[in-house]
A = this chain, B = another copy of it.
């Protein structure tokens, strides 16, 4: 079945760049499953230093596999289709055909299986990616401390897990707005995002063509896709928040779940009584969904319908194993508003809701701020863990200062690294364009690089058992003047090499025991080699 564009206006589909060659000395490898032998878990393998190798977690999907021929209009190979047909693993008490479940309109979620001690193919897949046991994955999901987003209708995605005990994850927001971008640009951004390490992608489109944009993205995405369904619901009522109804929202939610959205942000935490708490703020309400629902509550003087219909929402999500990301509609949007009453009143509501989601066997994560100065960051994690029963925390930044629009990937990477260390499980990136405009492809890359740094720094600090291998490999190459290894072990090999080329472009320079920073006589590492008489 081929996808067709109905509303493609601006650009040709064939212009989408699908060639993302890996840097020289790097290859894509696959590790097979042990429980489920047809699993093929991807890694980026870097060979360096005469036979050493480093296997890195790889989010880039088939786009970096030269052996797979891709056509955007066909979508990615639906790798999970065969898994869902094969049963659910080694715990005989629960061996049921998921194909049958789907036919019967009764889907069991990963949380359902985990609670019953069943290891699913998805669980083994992420265990291999994370270099841990499938048992750990299962236990963490069962306890609600981890979240494996995997809509049964998104068979193209490669399973991943979000939880404090695992590698810190990064989400990239894409999506057009009414005044900017088109579908092709958004598909390109998604492919570009997974190339640079996005673990999940949220399609936050708010303009026209929301449904179609999302269809193209889901069918071509190797990572879980998140959305904020209220945006599309708002579009259906012409952007007038007070005209939203439960029926419109419900239909939108079902539409998106059917398409294959893996997790949805829902602002059920906004409550009528809490909205006035934001009145005295310097920057008001900065969540789009939060503002819309606050407006709805205020205009109607009624409780938020996403709160009153929370059980109905969970029933829909459970049908598809769509996870819920409990939105922080009252997150602070300025340093002045950080950790205020409005924010924490909502967090308390989220703590109540996450338990209700779990009772419906819906997986859940909790969204967090926003703009927070460094000394107030840890309290956010501590409160979230306590009030929300250790559900995974998914934060936007936080930005540690308001003064640098144009550089908010940096203001927020500082906060993101810290909150990841303190216990946040996924970091939503912020691009340099934040507050100023819709990000383009370069902004997506810049945001991701900053956040992969933050996530990795967090993994080092929280003592993740495999994190330091990468740092040690790179520092080994650096100390031994293996410039080509130095480049290929870098987060962005092309950039590392091009920076070195700027001052020392000659091929023989890549074997020199110095760089232009110090020159041949002043290289400290070279001097150290002499002191300790080190040989490569």
Distance between Cα atoms of A475 and B404 in the complex (Å): 11
- Count of interface residues, chain A, beta-carbon cutoff 8 Å: 110
9 tightest A-B contacts by CB? Answer: A239-B521, A284-B528, A178-B519, A334-B475, A291-B524, A374-B461, A291-B527, A406-B495, A400-B457
Report A436 CB to chain B, min CB distance, Å: 4
**What are 26 A-B interface contacts by the 8 Å CB criterion?**
A178-B521, A206-B518, A282-B475, A284-B531, A285-B525, A294-B527, A335-B472, A336-B472, A374-B418, A400-B461, A401-B457, A402-B474, A402-B478, A403-B490, A403-B491, A404-B490, A407-B495, A410-B410, A410-B413, A411-B453, A433-B499, A436-B496, A437-B499, A437-B515, A437-B516, A438-B517
B residues near A461, Cβ cutoff 8 Å: 373-375, 400
B residues near A516, Cβ cutoff 8 Å: 177, 179-180, 437-438
Interchain CB contact under 8 A, A489 and B403: yes
A288 nearest in chain B by CB position: B524
B residues near A518, Cβ cutoff 8 Å: 177, 206, 288
Does A356 sit within 8 A of B, measured CB to CB? no
Which of A72-80, A118-126, A219-227, A463-471 lies at the interface with chain B?
A463-471
A294 nearest in chain B by CB position: B531
Interchain CB contact under 8 A, B336 and A437: no
Considering only residues 403-462 of chain A, those with a C-beta below 8 Å from chain B are 403-407, 409-411, 413-414, 417-418, 421, 432-438, 440, 449-450, 452-454, 456-458, 460-462
Report A240 CB to chain B, min CB distance, Å: 8
In the assembly, how many copies of this chain are there?
Answer: 2
Q: A334-B475, A530-B295 are in contact. Are A375 and B519 (CB under 8 A)?
A: no
Interchain CB contact under 8 A, A292 and B400: no
Interchain CB contact under 8 A, A179 and B503: yes
Does A241 sit within 8 A of B, measured CB to CB? yes
Does A113 sit within 8 A of B, measured CB to CB? no
Does A38 sit within 8 A of B, measured CB to CB? no
Interchain CB contact under 8 A, A177 and B460: no
Interchain CB contact under 8 A, B286 and A525: yes
Interchain CB contact under 8 A, B479 and A334: yes
Does A48 sit within 8 A of B, measured CB to CB? no
Contact of A460 among B241, B288, B374, B471 (CB under 8 A): B374
Interchain CB contact under 8 A, A468 and B336: yes
Distance between Cα atoms of A510 and B474 in the complex (Å): 46
Considering only residues 254-304 of chain A, those with a C-beta below 8 Å from chain B are 275, 278-279, 282-288, 290-292, 294-295, 298
Q: A239-B522, A295-B527, A490-B405 are in contact. Are A283 and B475 (CB under 8 A)?
A: yes
Contact of A288 among B239, B436, B468, B522 (CB under 8 A): B522
Considering only residues 155-174 of chain A, those with a C-beta below 8 Å from chain B are none
Does A307 sit within 8 A of B, measured CB to CB? no
B residues near A495, Cβ cutoff 8 Å: 406-407
Does A492 sit within 8 A of B, measured CB to CB? yes
Instruction: With A239-B521, A410-B453 given, name 18 new contacts (CB 8 A).
Output: A177-B518, A231-B522, A238-B521, A275-B531, A282-B472, A282-B479, A288-B524, A291-B527, A291-B531, A295-B530, A298-B531, A336-B468, A374-B457, A374-B458, A404-B449, A436-B496, A438-B516, A440-B502
Distance between Cα atoms of A525 and B144 in the complex (Å): 34
Report A56 CB to chain B, min CB distance, Å: 10
Does A529 sit within 8 A of B, measured CB to CB? yes
Interchain CB contact under 8 A, A404 and B491: yes
